[in-house]
Amino acid sequence: MTDYAVTPFQPIVQGVVTFPDGVGPATPVEFNGEGISAISRPVGFPLGAYLLDLDEGLPGNAGAVQPGTSPISNPNVRTMVTVRGSGVPPISLISTTAVLYLLSPTPGVGADQVLIVMQTFPPAFADPAAGFEIIIWVVQ
Amino acid sequence: MPDYAAAPIQPIVEGVVTFPGGPGTQPFFDGKGVSAITRAPGFLFGAYILTLDVGLPGNAGAVPFAPSGPPPLFAPDPDVRTMVTPISTGSPPASFVQSIGVSYIPSALSGVGAPQIEIAITEAVFTLFDPAGGFQIIVWRGLGGGPVA
């Protein structure tokens, strides 16, 4: 029988991303939690895309995630994003969410940044007005 | 530096919401950490209010509402995380869910925090609806850290 107890869920990132000045093109974005040292909007994308820099971390536990065979098929990292809704009821208006792990140019470092992209419908980049929760963890 | 090893995920709510009478009927929660589930007032589909158990400090019950300081435009509730996953029907099991939103409803009592969670689920085009197979929900607290910009 599988010993489920040997696969604990140990996040390297957990927090909430919000927009202190409200949503809109290039407004400030803030991360509140653990495991992230900086957050910004990628150049050229004023809405719906967020670049999170992972903390410098401990090998195999925190910090850069292992890259796998390509940035897309990274086998050792998991990310969960939950959008917070605003209004009554709290509809989020976000219809797609995607994550991408950006490799460091330094060999052996792995992916030290995470890119989150959100869209509304019809597809267009959009900020969720009430922000979103994010959890990142590594499996070995 | 954060001590990651000291921040395990410890759910305060875990369960499944279903609609025994079919979509549009009374929702039913089967799990732990929730004492009541209702539809949000005025909405016949897709919006649910879950009332947390009266709980133990730091483990179950009300979730922290907001950090100290001036209230932001939308309370960030920095210490609570929710995961919602639709359960689908059919083959393949398409959920038809277009968006999921969560919100934390603060108590009117000072210091109590948010004892209720509201969830809004929509299909195309952002129309509230009940996923036929119901949905799974996990709520837990994430503690520590601070703002980064």
**pLDDT tens across A79-115, in order?**
999 999 988 999 999 999 999 888 888 777 778 889 9
Predicted confidence at residue A73, as pLDDT, reads: 65
Q: Is A116 on the interface with B (CB under 8 A)?
A: no
What tens digit of pLDDT does each residue of B60-95 get?
567 776 655 544 445 567 678 899 999 988 888 889
Lowest mean pLDDT among A73-82, B67-76, B133-142: B67-76
- Asked if B4 lies within 8 A of A62 by C-beta distance, the reply is yes
Task: Name the helix (H) or strand (E) containing B80.
Answer: strand B80-86
Predicted confidence at residue B1, as pLDDT, reads: 46
- Please enumerate in sequence order all residues whose Cβ is within 8 A of that of B52, keeping only pairs 6 or more positions apart, or say none: B12, B13, B33, B34, B35, B60, B61, B62, B63, B115, B116, B117, B139
Terminal C-alpha separation, chain B = 17
- What share of chain B has pLDDT > 70, as a percent? 77
- The pLDDT of B133-149, averaged and rounded, is 83
Q: What angle do CA B147, B117, B108 make, to 5 degrees?
A: 85
Q: Is A93 on the interface with B (CB under 8 A)?
A: yes
What is the rounded CA–CA span in Å between residue A129 and residue A88?
A: 13
Distance from CA of B126 to the nearest CA of A (A): 7
- Asked if B7 lies within 8 A of A91 by C-beta distance, the reply is no
What tens digit of pLDDT does each residue of A30-62 get?
998 888 989 999 999 999 999 999 887 654 445
Nearest to B99 among A9, A61, A93 (CB): A93
Instruction: Dig out the tokens for A111 from the structure.
Output: 């992916």
Q: Which residues of A touch B7 (CB under 8 A)?
A: 10-11, 14, 34
Please classify residue B67 by burial: count the beta carbons closer than 10 Å to its beta carbon, then call 0-12 exposed, 13-18 middle and 19+ buried: middle
What is the rounded CA–CA span in Å between residue B125 and residue B97?
A: 10
What tens digit of pLDDT does each residue of B22-73 get?
999 999 999 998 999 999 999 999 999 999 888 655 445 677 766 555 444 4
> Global pTM?
0.88
Nearest to A89 among B76, B118, B144 (CB): B118
Q: Which residues of A touch B148 (CB under 8 A)?
A: 30-32, 36-39
Q: What angle do CA B148, A85, A93 make, to 5 degrees?
A: 110
